[in-house]
């Protein structure tokens, strides 16, 4: 039997399970709860405290697992924060597919459904944005990055283009989710390398926007705007970026948006050589670091949005890589 991993916290508690849950015991999967059983919140807490972070679910029950997440994300009895949590878990499953499944076309199509859910969530509930920003997961850096960049890109596109153009918001969310898809083609050892990259390795990493464009070229259903976001997300407003050194409005509008979302997420997340800073510090750093890097109008708009959204009231111990609170 084949399995996939899910986070312990992503399981709906105190209601009958829609799928079987296995635990790894002595390196082997062992049935822990079967479909229809009820898992209590207390039991999950105890498991988590004892270092149990992952369940295994049989691969042929994947649709049932995704269905249960969807149900929870729409359950009116759940708080906005809980709905956001289940939506984010769904996003991780899709991003995992985007980076690991052999045939990319069907998983990109599936991801479009997810982005629609995210756009609907972010535009329908006033607390949704801050709720999705509060949720950070402490593992899977690349996956987390793609999901967060997608959320920030939607938030920012909303600011610039308004709610009326759902199509644009969808394109923005999808571009955020897919912006680093070209890394599929780069050696995983290089992507996850903790020590500094050699010149050749760096050269290879810098090809990921082109690789991304090549992947998406073959999928006609992807909006051109999204394809340009992927290809141009490392271009700088002042022409110092790559791969083509485009400048100002030579760079497509959504690519200028995702460039801001990308750096903002990197700064607010713990990485090998960077301790996460809070959003206010991140904005200050982005402003001072290289004034010509970002589109000044979009940057200003994001700056205001962050101020408005958070009111600068971050918890003093905020750390986006820990499951703790972000805001006071
Ligand atoms: Fe990138
Ligand atoms: Fe990125």
- Here the CATH number for the domain that contains residue 204 is 1.10.3210.10
Q: What's the confidence (pLDDT) of residue 250? A: 97
> 31 and 124, same structural domain?
no
> 245 and 116, same structural domain?
yes
Q: From the CA of 36, how far away is ligand 1's center (Å)?
A: 42
> 91 and 219, same structural domain?
yes
> 15 and 113, same structural domain?
no
> How far apart, in whole angstroms, are the C-alpha atoms of residue 178 and residue 314?
29
> 274 and 190, same structural domain?
yes
Say if 181 falls within a structural domain: yes
Helix ranges restricted to H, the chain: 41-49, 62-74, 80-100, 104-124, 128-134, 141-161, 166-178, 188-191, 199-205, 208-217, 224-232, 253-267, 279-289, 296-310
> How far apart, in whole angstroms, are the C-alpha atoms of residue 216 and residue 214?
6
Sheet holding 54-58, edge to edge: 3-7, 54-58, 21-25, 28-33
> 244 and 178, same structural domain?
yes
Q: From the CA of 180, how far away is ligand 1's center (Å)?
A: 5
> 28 and 93, same structural domain?
no
Q: From the CA of 4, how far away is ligand 1's center (Å)?
A: 27
Say if 72 falls within a structural domain: no
> 94 and 39, same structural domain?
no
Q: From the CA of 232, how far away is ligand 1's center (Å)?
A: 9
Q: By the 8 A CB rule, do 226 and 171 touch? A: yes
> How far apart, in whole angstroms, are the C-alpha atoms of residue 95 and residue 35?
26
State which residues form the domain around 48: 1-60
Q: What is the pLDDT along the chain (328 residues), one digit of tens a residue?
A: 899 888 887 888 888 999 999 998 888 999 999 999 999 988 888 887 877 778 999 999 999 999 999 999 999 999 888 898 899 889 888 988 888 888 888 899 889 999 999 999 988 877 777 777 665 544 456 778 889 999 999 999 998 998 878 999 999 999 999 999 998 898 888 877 777 788 999 899 899 999 999 999 988 889 999 999 999 999 999 999 999 999 999 999 999 999 999 888 888 887 666 678 887 888 888 877 667 889 988 888 887 766 655 444 333 332 222 223 333 4
Q: What's the confidence (pLDDT) of residue 93? A: 87
Number of domains in the chain: 2
> 55 and 84, same structural domain?
no
């Amino acid at each position: 039997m084949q399995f996939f991993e899910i986070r312990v916290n992503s399981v709906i508690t105190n209601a009958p399970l829609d799928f079987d849950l296995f635990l790894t015991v002595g390196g082997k999967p062992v049935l822990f709860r079967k479909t229809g059983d009820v898992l209590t919140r207390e039991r999950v807490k105890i498991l988590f405290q004892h270092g149990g972070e992952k369940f295994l679910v049989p691969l042929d029950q994947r649709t049932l697992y995704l269905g249960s997440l969807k149900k929870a994300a729409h359950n009116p009895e759940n708080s906005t924060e809980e709905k956001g949590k289940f939506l984010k878990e769904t996003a991780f499953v899709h991003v995992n597919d985007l980076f690991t499944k052999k045939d990319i076309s069907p998983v990109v199509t599936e991801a479009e459904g997810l982005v629609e859910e995210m756009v609907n969530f972010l535009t329908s509930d006033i607390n949704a944005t801050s709720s999705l920003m509060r949720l950070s997961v402490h593992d899977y850096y690349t996956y987390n990055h793609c999901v967060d960049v997608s959320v920030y890109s939607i938030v920012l596109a909303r600011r610039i283009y308004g709610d009326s153009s759902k199509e644009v918001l969808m394109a923005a969310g999808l571009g955020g989710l897919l912006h680093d898809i070209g890394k599929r083609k780069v050696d995983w050892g290089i992507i996850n390398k903790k020590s500094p990259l050699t010149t050749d390795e760096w050269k290879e990493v810098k090809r990921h926007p082109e690789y991304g464009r090549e992947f998406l070229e073959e999928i006609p259903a992807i909006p051109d705007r999204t394809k340009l976001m992927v290809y141009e997300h490392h271009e700088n407003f002042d022409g110092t970026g790559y791969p083509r050194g485009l400048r100002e409005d030579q760079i497509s509008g959504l690519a200028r948006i995702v460039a801001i979302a990308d750096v903002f997420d990197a700064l607010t997340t713990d990485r090998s050589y960077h301790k996460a800073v809070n959003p206010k510090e991140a904005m200050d750093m982005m402003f001072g670091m290289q004034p010509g890097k970002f589109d000044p109008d979009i940057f200003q708009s994001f700056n205001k949005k962050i101020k408005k959204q958070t009111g600068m009231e971050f918890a003093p111990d905020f750390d986006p890589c820990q499951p703790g609170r972000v805001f006071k």
